[in-house]
Amino acid sequence: MLAIDARDVVKTFRSGWFRPRETRALQGVSLAVPRGAIVGLLGPNGAGKTTLLSILATLLTPDSGRVTVLGHDVTREAGALRRRLNMASGRPSFLWSLRVGEIIAFYGRLYGLSGSTLRRRVDALIELCELGPYRRAPYSELSTGLKQRVALAKSLVNDPELLFLDEPTLGLDPDVAGRMREHIARLRREQGITIVLTTHYMREAEELCDEIEFIKGGRILARGTSGELKRQIGLGEVVALKLDPPRVAWLGEAPGVLRCAEADGWVECTVDDAEKRLPELLRALHAEGVIVRNVRVSEPELEEVFVELAK
């Protein structure tokens, strides 16, 4: 069952009156997100990530294309849909003088919660997002990481089935970002929420997402798990070997070996598929009487894939 089924979504922004300008933010994007998945939209600035998220979350209407979210058409049935989804931005802005508890309660009231139901919901979200010690702190005094946690708590106030997170760890220190990612992973694990997030951090996409959509210039250029993306780009994996004798002439010509290089006494063979080629190489080396002293296998970083795709 799909949480999101978007076909050929197009969105062009027109701005300026004297000298009109057109920005083709989305140029025919299709996306299918299964229920319970975490899907990442990864891409450089201006790729169209926020625009796509906003359309899926009913905040913008597409120029053309068909978008069904939780079984509803985003344009015609936005009202019914809005109760079942929510969105948080990594650049949140709330009334600076309100306290954390008040902000969450304010949004709860917008969804019709009141009295003890509202109080219980606010308590639960403060607990879930580990905001207990800051409940009475004014928003303006919070660190960036805490502000983003308030935004996350706020986005859960209507108990959404589908959550959109726009750059949820923007500008966070690595350890704070890591904790935010744990919160996000837990929302899916414990509550089964479907999550679509945008990021330009490869590590984040790799750690959190079941599938990554690489988006650039309003188009999805590649999609898959981080492993699939790496294979699609054909960067290969590196099998590094410490050998005795240190050089073996035929290694570069062995099946599946794309190239061979030497570095610090290691022979680094880039192979198409390490799981398949490593045993073959070890058998062949053994047969030739070459001693293998050490072996190291490394995948390319998703970062390298990103650089390759963004070219």
Ligand X SMILES: Nc1ncnc2c1ncn2[C@@H]1O[C@H](COP(=O)(O)OP(=O)(O)O)[C@@H](O)[C@H]1O
Taking phi first (over 0 means left), then psi (-120 to 50 degrees means alpha), and beta for anything else, what does residue 151 get? alpha
Q: How far is the CB of 43 from ligand X (least distance, A)?
A: 6
34 binds, among ligand X, Mg ion, none (CB under 5 to 8 A by kind): none
45 touches ligand X (CB under 6 A): yes
Kindly tell me which of 172 and 285 has the beta carbon lying closer to Mg ion. 172
Q: Answer whether 248's CB lies under 8 Å from 290's CB.
A: yes
Structure tokens given for 206: 């790799």
List helix spans (H) across the chain. Answer: 49-56, 78-82, 100-110, 115-128, 144-155, 174-191, 202-208, 226-233, 274-287, 302-310
Amino acid identity of residue 199, one-letter, is T
Contact between 168 and ligand X per CB under 6 A:
no
Q: Counting contacts by CB under 6 A, is residue 246 touching ligand X?
A: no
Please, what is the minimum distance in Å from the beta carbon of residue 86 to ligand X?
18
User: Min. distance of Cβ 208 from Mg ion in angstroms?
Assistant: 17
Closer residue to ligand X, CB minimum distance, 118 or 170: 170
| 46 binds, options Mg ion, ligand X, none, Cβ within 5 to 8 A by partner type | ligand X
- Answer whether 244's CB lies under 8 Å from 291's CB: yes
- Pick one of 13, 34, 83, 307: the residue that binds ligand X (CB under 6 A): 13
Q: Choosing among ligand X, Mg ion, none, which partner's interface includes residue 4 (Cβ < 5 to 8 Å by kind)?
A: none
- What is the C-alpha separation between 102 and 14, in angstroms, rounded? 38
Answer for which of 3, 9, 43, 107 binds ligand X (CB under 6 A) is 43
**C-beta atoms surrounding 199 within 10 Å:** 25
Question: Is 50 one of the binding residues for Mg ion (CB under 5 A)?
Answer: yes
Residues that bind ligand X (CB under 6 A): 13, 15, 23, 25, 43, 45-51
